[in-house]
Structure 1
Amino acid sequence: MTTPLAAAPGRARTLPLARLARAELHRLVSPRPVRWFLYALAPLLLLYAAAAFAGHHTDVSAAWGAAEEAHRRYVEEAARRPVGTWEELSPRSFFDDPRYQMAKASFVDLRAVCTGLSIIALVLGLFSGGRDWSTRVMLTLTAAEPRRLRLFAVRGLLVAAVVVAMTLLAVALLLPLLLVVAQFRGTSAGTDGHYWWVVSVIAVRGALFVGLMALIGYGLGMLARSQVTALGIALVYLVAGERLVKDYAPGLVEYHLSGITFAVFDERLLMASDRTTCVGDIACAAMREGTTATQAFLGLMLHLVPVVSAAAWRFLRQDIS
């Protein structure tokens, strides 16, 4: 009698792909800190919108009064300085519009929220890739799923998919809250069809960026086989890497993660708005060079591909102990 292939001696049984994906998804979201963050996402966005609501008002006349007073003090101070050592300014230079301007401020808020989510995604990727090594759970996982490449890919893609969905959900929750802020504490002028198209593009860019950051973290965790080591590598790069790039490779400064982040969430190339104002050396370098989102994502791939490739090679070729 012929022995079925699945039960033949020496042949390892493999899990169905759907069952493997469900099991790994459960393992990914079951840790308590991950579930707490997912539960807290909506309240955190509500608090963010509440802070924006509290930080703006519609008393424009009072803001103009404050601007005129600041201008008066500036003129009095300038009168005591030698001629040619100060610049003649108008009260408008001191005016700070207290209203929440949806057409401008929402992009800043999207950048802030998605940047925060990218950091969370990086940590989640590190956690997912590195946590099963010290406990030797990886031995059990590779015994249950001997096709290592499939196991490696499923785990990484699930991390990316979860954070992409989380980012799109966050944007979908945040924008209505910001509209409420604009309705009561600002203005929604300029939020036409083109604006909403640009917002959609930025949201998709942000979700893709967050997903790729999760993959970088996952690759680091699988490569280092330790959460602590991988986290240390990430922190050193994020903290010290920017300074090293600025000092020794200034021509590549806009392709450091800070410059890439700025370019991904920069709406000014799409909105045809003022591109002269920027904050930070790397952001200004990206602005001067006119770094597009395509260039930014290509730069991000230069960070991602070597890490994930090295992690996959080590996972496939080296023994698991």
Structure 2
Amino acid sequence: MDVAVFSTRSYDRTFLEAANAKGGNRHDLRFFEASLSLQTVSLARRSAAVCCFVNDHLDRPVIEALCQIGVRLVVLRCAGFNNVDLKAAEAAGICVARIPAYSPEAIAEHTLALILCLNRKIHRAYVRVREGNFALDGLLGFNLATRTVGIIGTGKIGGALVKILSGLGCRIVAHDPYPDSSLASAGVEYLSLEDLFAAADIISLHCPLTPETHHMIDRAALASLRDGVMLINTSRGAVVDTRAVIEGLKSGKIGSLGLDVYEEEGDLFFRDLSGQTLQDDIFARLLTFHNVLITGHQGFFTQEAVEAIADVTIENVTAFETCGRAAYPIGPERIA
């Protein structure tokens, strides 16, 4: 099957070619660095499938353009699908498949790294020591043991984080419209959002981006948080209202902020912009705070996770070619 792979980086090509080789190089993979948009959709001409990532645009005009050139499958190299117009895909007869789970531990462990780094000011201490400054002033942290961590979204990633933080002695409270009975049995206390906001010293977001979760952390939510709360987002950027969070940082309501995602990351992440001036004033403002730590959508990026993503991507393509249905399609029930 001919597959046009968009938003390709060197590691994407390495792992996808290795996964394809396991099946005898069954598929013809064509790699493009460009992201998928209405301007680049023509690159997929002659392809029956396109392979996309988190910041590719698959809105209705793009879906309709893909349909017109004969694309029958969209296979996502990610779990989230908020960048895809599923109703347009269904109307066009295009199957959309994703990676349901690749390595929840990878993102959970990255979340822990952000928490520990912010708490113990590792990012600031690193710079100081390299400059010969060994003073401890301003680097005071706190013990995680006995602290209350609020986890919003207790799917596979949130559940993996629960296990890690429980081992550190944290009290875990959680919010999810579908509570996990096994986590509740293990001592996780499910609360309303309002009660979680009031109780948590640290809040970590692990929910998908939906109309209900868009800007979940906004000005109103910030008013309910404990003063000096640590906020971590490794889910999707738009779950957080960035402008409201900046106000919270300035007022001290937010004591520290860790982000692996950003609302407008499509114009920034997964590329080297070190030789350019950042045009995003909101993102540039975030970088001025010493208590803010940002990574560029790096949470998934482990050997195990990237290999699993490539393997399942090829599995989806092979299944569709063989029986007309991807291994992990996003079904009509998701559209409703």
Query: Do they fold alike, i.e. is TM over 0.5?
Result: no
RCO comparison, higher one (Cα < 8 Å, 6+): 1
Task: Give the structure with the larger strand fraction.
Answer: 2
Query: Considering only CA atoms, is the larger Rg found in Structure 1 or Structure 2?
Result: 1
